[in-house]
Amino acid sequence: MTPPAALWFADPPGRASSTGEATGARRTASARHRGAMRVKDAVGRFGEQVAVEHLEAAGLVVVDRNWRCRDGELDVVAHDGAELVFVEVKTRSSRAYGTPAQAVDRVKAARIRRLALAWLAERRAGGERSWPVLRFDVVTVVRRPGGLDVEHLRGAF
């Protein structure tokens, strides 16, 4: 299996004709879509790993990753001293469609806040401590020639 970083930094494959002549095989639209989603998911996982390493290097302690409930997913939950931090990670292969942080709009921020309350309710039911201060951060990971740009926006919303 190709590791996510290798997928992300690999040169894009050549184009095949609509009849599949360049590859010798035909692919259905659903197969192409599944392949694109696998690459997108791998890029997202890679970006989340980069973000976690960045957060830990900055002194945050990660307590949960990819927490899911019926309403959605929290990418990273960490604590920074007395603050509990909910981190949305946005990974992009370029800035062609704006900065990754621009993807965290008012609606997305509200959803993340609701998910944070659900995460807290689940933990309190298990007897875990309460947190006096909550913070919502965004970490962006963008590919550039020769490397990555990682930006940590504390208190982004």
DSSP assignment of 67-124: EEETTEEEEEEEEETTEEEEEEEEEES-STTS-GGGGS-HHHHHHHHHHHHHHHHHHH
Stated as kind and residue range, the H or E segment containing 65 is strand 61-69
Q: Which residue has the higher pLDDT, 94 or 11?
A: 94
Question: 5 and 44 in contact (C-beta within 8 Å)?
Answer: no
pLDDT at 39: 79
User: Is residue 9 predicted with pLDDT exceeding 90?
Assistant: no
Residue-number span of the structural domain to which 90 is assigned: 4-153
CATH number at residue 107: 3.40.1350.10
pLDDT digits (tens, 9 = 90+) for 56-100: 999 999 999 999 999 999 999 999 999 999 999 999 988 888 889
Q: What is the pLDDT of residue 6?
A: 54
Structurally, how many domains does the chain consist of?
1
Q: Can you give the pTM of this predicted structure?
A: 0.75
